[in-house]
Structure 1
Amino acid sequence: MSENPVLEVAILDVKPDQSESFELAFAKAQTIIIGMPGYLSHQLQRCIENPNRYLLLVNWQTLEDHQVGFRESSEYQEWRSLLHHFYDPFPVVEHYQGLYAGAVE
């Protein structure tokens, strides 16, 4: 495992009046990524100011685990069919590596 995991970040703008359906579909879809090689953890957060906007954060061991291992898999096709029709516009996905972290004890 790499010492510096990769954070996938996607801002998901869901079509109006589709949030409840999206959340139900995501509950099912998240089981797909949990089982993928290189998956470490994920969070889906809903925006307070804009309830049709979500922030998806997925931690992967490597960039290749996401871009190749997941995106080129048959499981990704199921993920796509469950979720992609909810987005408008289609999200931009970016990847980050940590530099600093802190926490309140």
Structure 2
Amino acid sequence: MTIEYIRYRVGAGRAAAFEAAYARAATPLGESPHCVDYELARCVEDPGDYILRITWTSVNDHLEGFRGSPEFGRFLAEIREYVPDIQEMRHYEPTSVAGPAGPPTLYEWAGGRSALLRLTETFYRTVLEDELLEPVFRGMDPAHPRHVADWLGEVFGGPPAYSGHRGGHRHMIGRHLGRAITEQQRRRWVSLLLDAADEAGLPADPEFRAAFAGYLEWGSRLAVVFSRPGAEVDVEEPMPRWDWTMPPWKDPASGG
């Protein structure tokens, strides 16, 4: 693994636009098989200063793989304006000096955006063939599976791609207003998504599936509430964040 650090000085007056640009750029960055993870941090003492940390599979994968890919073009298009604000950009490799790592996010445990995209593409192929759910999704935007993968990724601790591209929780609530989703449709939606998780190869350990199923139950029941005719909802609610209900599973055979 190689860690790249990029230090920016954009100024406090441009900070909001800079963060919004990187929220959009997070989607192509997360789609790259060469990108392991990333984080944009803001300086406390000087709020216009930022450090972007990206973990790559290797230096060569970054310089040759990512920069030669279509994802790089989309990434650069979002942040090109801020390239002159880069103060330093270097690659580093980890040493043996490190503290204990925290548990992975559900996003990381699931396999990142590629795994969630497999899930949503599998699921939405299924719903269009389902008698109960097809009327709900008839005329669906072809990009809808990608948008839902971004939503799930952000909810499960991944990059804020949905907020950056679609407007966050406000937009998701708006997509359900007045749709009058029935309890039968909700149950079928949950059931087919659980089946899609199996087909897409998401982790099958009890702890992950408990957290995953818990979110589906919680989120789908809220969707039913939001969809009722005349429902009064708070569109300013923040994006939900979902985490482990139990610690991540450890294989007893590994001695962990």
Provide the TM-score with structure 1 as the length reference. 0.83
In structure 1, runs of 5+ residues without a counterpart are none
Give the number of the structure whose residues are more often strand, by fraction.
Answer: 1
Aligned residues: 101
**Equivalent of 2:74 in 78, 95, 101:** 78
Q: Which residue of 1 aligns with 2:219?
A: none
Distance (whole Å) between structure 2 residues aligned to residue 15 and residue 21 of structure 1: 11
For residues 1-105 of structure 1, the aligned pairs below 5 Å read 5-99=1-95, 100-103=97-100
Tell me, yes or no, if the aligned pair for 1:32 and 1:79 is still in contact at 8 Å.
Answer: yes
Of all paired residues, the percent bearing the same amino acid is: 28
Question: What is the DSSP-based 3-state SS (H/G/I as helix, E as strand, rest coil) of the residue aligned with 1:37?
Answer: coil
Distance (whole Å) between structure 1 residues aligned to residue 21 and residue 101 of structure 2: 34
Question: What is the DSSP-based 3-state SS (H/G/I as helix, E as strand, rest coil) of the residue aligned with 2:5?
Answer: strand
CA 1:34–1:75: 2 relative to 1, 3 Å: same
Q: Which amino acid aligns with 2:68?
A: E
Q: Which amino acid aligns with 1:14?
A: V
Give the number of the structure whose residues are more often helix, by fraction.
Answer: 2
Distance (whole Å) between structure 1 residues aligned to residue 11 and residue 68 of structure 2: 26
Question: What is the DSSP-based 3-state SS (H/G/I as helix, E as strand, rest coil) of the residue aligned with 1:18?
Answer: helix
Tell me, yes or no, if the aligned pair for 1:15 and 1:87 is still in contact at 8 Å.
Answer: no
Provide the TM-score with structure 2 as the length reference. 0.37
Moved over 4 A (4+): none
> What is the CA-CA distance between 1:70 and the residue it aligns to?
1.2
Larger radius of gyration: 2
Q: Which amino acid aligns with 2:15?
A: S
In structure 2, runs of 5+ residues without a counterpart are 103-256
Tell me, yes or no, if the aligned pair for 1:18 and 1:86 is still in contact at 8 Å.
Answer: no
Q: RMSD value over aligned CA atoms?
A: 2.0
